[in-house]
Amino acid sequence: MTRESSLKHMDYSKQSIELHLKSRGKIEIRSKVSIKTKDDLSLAYTPGVAAVCTEISLDKQKSYTLTNRANQVAIVSDGTAILGLGDLGPEAAMPVMEGKAIIFKEFADIDAIPLCINSTDVEEIIQFCKMIEPSFAGINLEDISAPRCFEIFERLEKELSIPVFHDDQDGTAIVTMAAIINACRITGKKIGDLTVIINGAGAAGIAIARLLIHAQVKEVMLVDTQGALYEGRPGMNSIKQGIAAISNKAKHQGDLQSSMVGADVFVGVSIGNIVTPAMVEGMNSSPFIFAMANPEPEIMPDLAYKAGASVVGTGRSDLPNQVNNALVFPGLFKGLFLSGIKKVTPEIKMAVATSIAYSIEPTRDNLMPTAFNKDVVRNIVDVISKTGLEGSLAEDELELESLVSALLD
């Protein structure tokens, strides 16, 4: 990190603490109806509300039309994987979850409630989500460490009647896919020709690898603290074993530096300051570098460009080309709520990624749309609306699918 960017980061930290102290957090609840008179109170509360309760008891689906449920998301976290900071606990997760809540509201007009819970037990978290289901139209899992997050998500996706989305997994995967699509648009490279190295084999890294494999990249290799994942490597949990079986076809064994040799794309979703200019120089010509560790990228953009990178993105909002899942979850949940779709399939993920990418005409210094680009949410909602209730793309309606195909050819 350069001295200038380091000082800027320090300034953001200080000012953020001052902001949170001044406003005592970032969210509040406001009433949709006026309560100025006794009649107002009688309509909004007792005795009038009893009739509303009776209506819902006769048809539970009316909770979507007679309460705020249809526009309400639960953001559930146990605080075990906060940003790039690790396990800081549920109390420390609240500032992040409040931040997500205001992003939901600002960009998609969705009411999101942070629920940071005092348990790291898989069964307890699953049971908690099942118990709160009647109050929400969807659940956004956040900052839950791997490998527990995979089982929690997969179980809830099957056992709940409302959509469940783990933003650290698929939100990150979708926005990374969008960044790669636009990098290909800028450079003329094809997705099907790319060899991608992912540093970090947690929730985000594995989800990114799965989506890239679905997109038919030439090769994907994940690297953790023990080196490259390959089929048969000892000491891996079941989730890593599963992804190792379908990636790293050459069964390369080695550290991050050796794994990056000859690669076309680097994706970092682990720790900062781990990539050197020499490692970038060892990649194929004009590689894509997505150094998304927070708050410190794996390598700063200026160093990556000097080492020969053609496109560089980070997870930081104060640096060019931010690759951040804030582009995904507001529009995704809006689209799910309006369409009635309950499950986000790989086809939907690819369509959403492509809709994000094509929200702008990218350049090297303007790779991704910002969260303030109103086309992003509109495009995501539109592409989800053009899917069936089973989440399969309607090929005769979806032009974006042909754009993906063109990138693969």
Q: In this structure, are 119 and 218 located in the same domain?
A: no
pLDDT one-digit tens code per residue, 363-387: 999 999 998 999 999 999 999 988 7
Q: In this structure, are 287 and 366 located in the same domain?
A: no
Q: Is 199 annotated as a binding residue?
A: no
Report the domain count for the chain. Answer: 3
Whether pLDDT at 390 is above 80 = no
Whether pLDDT at 396 is above 80 = no
Is 100 annotated in the active site?
yes
In a domain, 18, yes or no: no
Q: In this structure, are 268 and 347 located in the same domain?
A: no
Cα angle at 251 between 250 and 257, to 5 degrees? 95
Of 314, 343, 374, the residue at which a domain comes to its end is: 314
Q: In this structure, are 211 and 307 located in the same domain?
A: yes
In a domain, 27, yes or no: no
* Mean pLDDT taken over the chain: 90
Of 293, 314, 335, the residue at which a domain comes to its end is: 314
In a domain, 225, yes or no: yes
Indicate the pLDDT class of residue 395, thresholds 50, 70 and 90. Answer: very low
In a domain, 119, yes or no: yes
Of 314, 348, 377, the residue at which a domain comes to its end is: 314
Q: In this structure, are 202 and 128 located in the same domain?
A: no
Residue 288 to residue 193: CA distance in whole angstroms: 13
Catalytic option among 8, 36, 45, 189: 45
Q: Is 294 annotated as a binding residue?
A: yes
Task: Name the amino acid, one letter, at 70.
Answer: A
CATH number at residue 303: 3.40.50.720
- For residues 146-157, give the mean pLDDT: 93
The per-residue pLDDT for 242 is 95
CATH number at residue 101: 3.40.50.10380
In a domain, 280, yes or no: yes
In a domain, 122, yes or no: yes
In a domain, 216, yes or no: yes
Task: Name the amino acid, one letter, at 43.
Answer: L
> Exposure pattern of 376-396 as b/e (b: 16+ CB <10 Å)?
bbebbbbbbebbeeebebeee
Q: In this structure, are 175 and 305 located in the same domain?
A: yes
Q: In this structure, are 250 and 336 located in the same domain?
A: no
Q: In this structure, are 368 and 395 located in the same domain?
A: yes
Positive or negative: CA dihedral 129, 132, 133, 135: negative
Q: In this structure, are 219 and 284 located in the same domain?
A: yes
Is 45 annotated in the active site?
yes
Catalytic option among 100, 240, 334, 386: 100
In a domain, 49, yes or no: no
Q: Is 248 annotated as a binding residue?
A: no
pLDDT one-digit tens code per residue, 31-68: 999 999 999 999 999 999 999 999 999 999 999 999 99
Q: Which two tokens stand for residue 157?
A: 């996706």
Pick the range with the lowest mean pLDDT from 1-5, 121-125, 161-165, 324-328.
Answer: 1-5
Its domain, for residue 131, covers: 67-162
Indicate the pLDDT class of residue 344, thresholds 50, 70 and 90. Answer: very high
Whether pLDDT at 248 is above 50 = yes
Interacting residues of 232 by C-beta distance below 8 A, sequence separation 6+: 244, 251
DSSP state of 201: -
The per-residue pLDDT for 115 is 98
Q: In this structure, are 308 and 341 located in the same domain?
A: no
The per-residue pLDDT for 10 is 53
The per-residue pLDDT for 12 is 78
Whether pLDDT at 29 is above 70 = yes
Q: In this structure, are 148 and 260 located in the same domain?
A: no
Whether pLDDT at 27 is above 90 = no
Q: In this structure, are 235 and 289 located in the same domain?
A: yes
The per-residue pLDDT for 388 is 52
The per-residue pLDDT for 19 is 86
User: pTM for the complete prediction?
Assistant: 0.88
